[in-house]
Structure 1
Amino acid sequence: MKTFKMILLAAAAAIPGTVALVAPAAAQVAGIAVANPEAAVARSKAWTAAQQQIQTTYKAQIDQAEARRKAIQTELQPLYTKFEADRKANVAEATLRTQAQAIQTRENAGNQELARLTAPAQRAQAYALEQIQAQLAPAVTAATTRKNVQLLLRPDAALFAQPTADITADVTTELDRLVPSVSITPPANWQPGQQQQAAGAAPAAAAPAASTPARPQQQGR
């Protein structure tokens, strides 16, 4: 069961995963740096403010969805427990398959219910995120120009990098300058993805995702 607090991940092409060894004392001199675009967006003032506004504006729906999520999880738990017990007891495969299908059906119905409850808030989050993403490429360009960076890698693409080689904070600073605030009220005809063309020079950012409750194995052997 996914909670409201997850945010739509904006898919993006990653910077090519070239493994680079960044010299400890010459990271900036050599023009090589690393940056995490997801973290840059997540730390921006516009995103932080948008999150706070959404939590306030849609509090009733968020609370209702959380209550329903807990209720559905409570309803499903005995089914999970029985399935696991029967599986360990080598109950007939057909019986396990029937149980698994019943669990899956109830989960699907629960997820659809939660999706309906959280749709307005999810839409507001996606709209706010797209507005920031539209300025991510210019922010990266400005940060790399200011830092005289010729090659920018994601942190996981570098074999080693000194902390001084990380310009994520600089990207956030540029985002704060370019997009100090965003609206959480999308136009009536707005659809997610309309501003993705702005991601050209840098990968679009993914906002932080909340954890989802672990579920017991639901398939027969």
Structure 2
Amino acid sequence: MKTIVKAAALVLAPMTALALTAVPAAAQSKAGIAVADLQRAVGTSAAYTAARTQIQTTYKPQIDAFNTRKTAIDADLKTKGDALQAALRAANNKPTPALETQYQQFQQSQQTAQAELQQMGQPIALANAYVEEQIAARLSDALKTAMTKAKVDLVLSPEATVSYQPAVDITDEVVTELNALVPSVGITPPAGWQPGRQGQAGAAAPATPAQAPKSR
């Protein structure tokens, strides 16, 4: 999940931000207070874990191509960066028109490389986002059920707390409910699908998991 998502924000990109709004300290809890890490709940759910494996299999050619191209780009940028540093030292760190041109060319190379890698990683990024969005669509229901079973009426995100005992963490309970509500998800977004557009055709109901082949 890490390699690819990293450089093009694509694969394994950081995951969809899922956080609870902090409740004012004055709020009164009738039954109890709990803590839940919703991002971790999604990331450790059975559906997400299985989908990640499918994505890495299905998109293996794209991921391999991405990694190969990124390695070449990194080497090229390092060579250009080293040359720029050498030229700067030769000029005693004094800016010159030639150095300015060389610097601008280096910046342009960086921007072009970033755009190229993002384009290459787009299919994988969309697959990741599609998986996360299908699971997140049932996250509220899973949380409510976990709260009912744990007999709590107030749940905070870990970031909204100063300190808490492990016993009040119901993240695992949320994962259990997610696994029941979303046993599996599809990894292939419908044509034209984009993250965050719930009204898109095919995005409302969980898709049938793809018959995978692999990625990194």
> Please, which runs of 5 or more residues in structure 1 have no aligned partner?
21-27, 197-221
Identity, in percent, stands at 42
Q: Which residue in the other structure is 1:123 paired with?
A: 126
Q: In angstroms, what is the RMSD of aligned CA positions?
A: 2.7
Cα 1:163–1:90 shift into 2, 3 Å: same
In the TM superposition, residue 38 of structure 1 has moved relative to its aligned partner by 0.7
Cα 1:91–1:178 shift into 2, 3 Å: same
Q: Which residue in the other structure is 1:144 paired with?
A: 147
Residues 134, 195 of structure 1: 8 Å contact kept: no
> Please, which runs of 5 or more residues in structure 2 have no aligned partner?
1-5, 200-216
In 2, Cα distance between equivalents of 1:186 and 1:136: 20
Question: Aligned pair 1:164/2:170, yes or no?
Answer: no
Q: How many residues of Structure 1 are paired with residues of Structure 2 in the alignment? A: 189
Letter in 2 for 1:72: I
In the TM superposition, residue 79 of structure 1 has moved relative to its aligned partner by 2.2
The one of the two structures with greater contact order (alpha-carbon pairs below 8 A, sep at least 6) is 1
Q: Which residue in the other structure is 2:72 paired with?
A: 71
In 2, Cα distance between equivalents of 1:71 and 1:52: 26
2:93 to 90, 112, 117: 90
Q: Which residue in the other structure is 2:22 paired with?
A: 16
Residues 35, 156 of structure 2: 8 Å contact kept: yes
**TM-score, length basis structure 1:** 0.75
In 2, Cα distance between equivalents of 1:156 and 1:128: 25
In 1, Cα distance between equivalents of 2:15 and 2:141: 20
In the TM superposition, residue 18 of structure 1 has moved relative to its aligned partner by 5.3
**TM-score, length basis structure 2:** 0.77
In 2, Cα distance between equivalents of 1:92 and 1:99: 11
Residues 12, 128 of structure 2: 8 Å contact kept: no
In 1, Cα distance between equivalents of 2:76 and 2:25: 48
Residues 20, 156 of structure 2: 8 Å contact kept: no
